[in-house]
């Protein structure tokens, strides 16, 4: 598995893993003074979306990403308490996709 991650600028099979590891890096750098949670979220979102695309879970013809994401959640997490929160995070990720900046706080998504 780790051979995918060997070259950080490589495209193709390694791309989702590169975004995932970048997200982990942002999480590890987060502290009281520098908060990188939104950046980590954006990288994890990109990793999920690229991974779904690469492994054939998305894009089916005419089906938006959110619906494909919910279909995966239905198979793996239906009935769990975090299910609706993850759907909200997917909606936030889709909204951020077309912006050049990250919002300051993700906690507002969880508090709705």
More confident residue, 66 or 97: 66
**58 lies in some domain:** yes
Is 9 a member of any domain?
no
Q: Quote the domain boundaries for residue 87.
A: 15-111
Question: What phi, psi does 54 have (nearest 5°)?
Answer: -65, -35
The answer, yes or no, to whether residue 1 has pLDDT greater than 70, is: no
**Who wins on pLDDT, 9 or 26?**
26
Task: Provide, rounded to the nearest whole percent, the portion of the chain with pLDDT above 70.
Answer: 75
8 domain-assigned = no
Kindly report whether the global pTM for this prediction surpasses the value 0.75: no
Does residue 106 sit within a domain? yes
Fill in the DSSP letter of residue 71: H
Tens of pLDDT, residue by residue over 65-92, are: 888 889 888 888 888 888 888 888 888 8
* Assigned domain for 30 exists: yes
27 within domain boundaries:
yes
User: In the chain, how many domains are there?
Assistant: 1
Reference 57, options 37, 36, 77, 72; nearest CA is 72
Q: Give Cα separations from 12 to 20, 27, 48, 51, 112 (angstroms).
A: 14, 24, 14, 10, 37
CA–CA separation, 88 vs 110, rounded Å? 8
CA distances from 17 to 58, 64, 68, 75, 95 (A): 17, 23, 20, 22, 23
* Domain presence at residue 39: yes
Q: Which residue has the higher pLDDT, 107 or 18?
A: 18
Is position 62 within any domain? yes
Instruction: Confirm if 10 and 18 have CB atoms less than 8 A apart.
Output: yes
Measured distance CA(32)–CA(1) in Å, rounded: 34
Residue 101, pLDDT score: 57
């Amino acid at each position: 598995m780790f051979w995918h991650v060997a070259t950080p600028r490589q495209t193709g099979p390694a791309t989702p893993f590169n975004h995932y590891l970048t997200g982990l890096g942002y999480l590890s750098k987060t502290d009281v003074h520098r908060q990188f949670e939104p950046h980590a979220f954006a990288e994890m979102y990109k990793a999920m979306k690229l991974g779904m695309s690469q492994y054939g879970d998305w894009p089916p013809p005419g089906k938006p990403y959110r619906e494909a994401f919910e279909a995966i959640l239905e198979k793996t997490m239906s009935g769990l308490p975090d299910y609706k929160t993850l759907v909200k995070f997917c909606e936030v990720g889709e909204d951020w996709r077309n912006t050049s900046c990250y919002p300051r706080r993700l906690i507002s998504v969880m508090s709705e």
